[in-house]
Copies of this chain bind each other. A is one copy, B any other.
Amino acid sequence: MNLKTSRGRPRLPGTDSAILSAAYHLLEEDGYGGFSMEAVARRAGAGKATLYRRWNSGADLLFDALARQTAFIIPLPNTGKLELDLRQLLRASFKLLNTRTAKLLRSLMAEAQIDEGFKARFRDTFVFSRRAGVRSILEAAVNRGELPTHVDREILIDAIYGVIWYRLLIEHAPLDNKCVEQILQLVVNQRQR
């Protein structure tokens, strides 16, 4: 019952990969400034038109180049204990953010400030999926009675990711294990009413 018949020559399957890889390595090497459609096409050995055929904008390509990094998907822990879940998630996240991936994320955030459409996409997919992960951990904790019901979960999520992005973007302090514990204290230390 395959209604959608593919017409015309199908896109070469390896090309996406080659382009994304070229984009990724350019970012890795020179940061946001090293990224340009021209440079990516040149490096991937592809025509510029091929890039624009497959992505609406450079920002979209940038986004996919990052999203494809499989290491990026962090499994959601479920130990049955708020503190343990959060510690595990944060440690895994920070591990990733101390690699070259940090440069990519900063580039994405910069691009999001320049291109409104891209910001929407970035927010709706990347940001929201990560917020949802933390939210489910917090909700489970509330259900188990570990977290007072009256505590606003959304502001906690904002605080957690706020600290992370703030440190990632400003680079005034590291995202290390000490930081994990500080964030945990912030969350877990919420006084009963």
Contact = CB atoms under 8 A, between A and B. Distances in A.
A182 to B, nearest CB: 4
A113 B110 contact: yes
A114 B165 contact: no
Contact of A191 (B111, B159, B189): B189
Interface stretch (A13-21, A85-93, A170-178): A170-178
Interface in A31-70: 31-33
Interface stretch (A75-83, A134-142, A150-158): A150-158
Interface in A112-131: 112-115, 119, 123, 127-128, 131
A-side interface mostly: helix
A156 B190 CA distance: 13
Contact of A109 (B31, B113, B151, B163): B113
A25 interface: no
Q: How large is the interface on A (under 10, 10 to 19, 20 to 34, 35 or more residues)?
A: 35 or more
Given A31-B114, A119-B170, 17 more contacts: A32-B114, A107-B113, A110-B110, A110-B114, A119-B171, A127-B172, A151-B185, A151-B189, A155-B179, A155-B182, A155-B185, A158-B167, A159-B162, A162-B164, A165-B165, A165-B166, A191-B191
Interface of A: 31-33, 106-107, 109-115, 119, 123, 127-128, 131, 151-152, 154-156, 158-159, 161-167, 169-173, 179, 182-183, 185-186, 189-192
